[in-house]
Amino acid sequence: MRSLKSKPLSTRQAAQEVAIGVLGFMAGDPERIGAFLAETGLSPADLRGVAGSPAFHVALLDHLINRQDLLIDYAAQAKIDPGHVVVARDILAHAGSED
């Protein structure tokens, strides 16, 4: 994965990389992923089918953004600015309208 530390997010691919990183972060802790699954109504088995979906990525990033503690933890672990997550969410949310 390409480093997003100092470059601003500007592409859909970079935004998807952030979302995939967030999924790994969330999946790495049963409490984190459990809260997300409960909020969305998804089951663990559903994740395989939706993991590549732009709508899923937006929902995942929304969840992280709405939980400031998780956003800060993820950004620190990924060594990125928390604002990158917000920008990634916006890019992915608007990407569907461009297709």
Q: Kindly report, residue by residue over 14-36, the tens digit of the pLDDT.
A: 999 999 999 999 999 999 999 99
Whether residue 9 is contained in a domain is answered as: no
pLDDT at site 52: 85
- pLDDT higher than 70, residue 6: no
State if pTM tops 0.85: no
Whether residue 35 is contained in a domain is answered as: yes
Whether residue 27 is contained in a domain is answered as: yes
Whether residue 2 is contained in a domain is answered as: no
Which residue range forms the structural domain that includes residue 60? 15-95
pLDDT at site 10: 73
Whether residue 1 is contained in a domain is answered as: no
Quick: pLDDT tens for 39-94.
999 998 998 889 888 899 999 999 999 999 999 999 999 999 999 999 999 999 99
* pLDDT higher at 65 or 3: 65
Whether residue 23 is contained in a domain is answered as: yes
- What total of structural domains would you count in the chain? 1
Residue 12: alpha-carbon gap to chain centroid: 13
> Looking at residue 85, what DSSP letter applies?
H
Q: What span, in angstroms and rounded, lies between the C-alpha atoms of 74 and 72?
A: 6
- pLDDT higher than 70, residue 9: no
Whether residue 75 is contained in a domain is answered as: yes
Whether residue 10 is contained in a domain is answered as: no
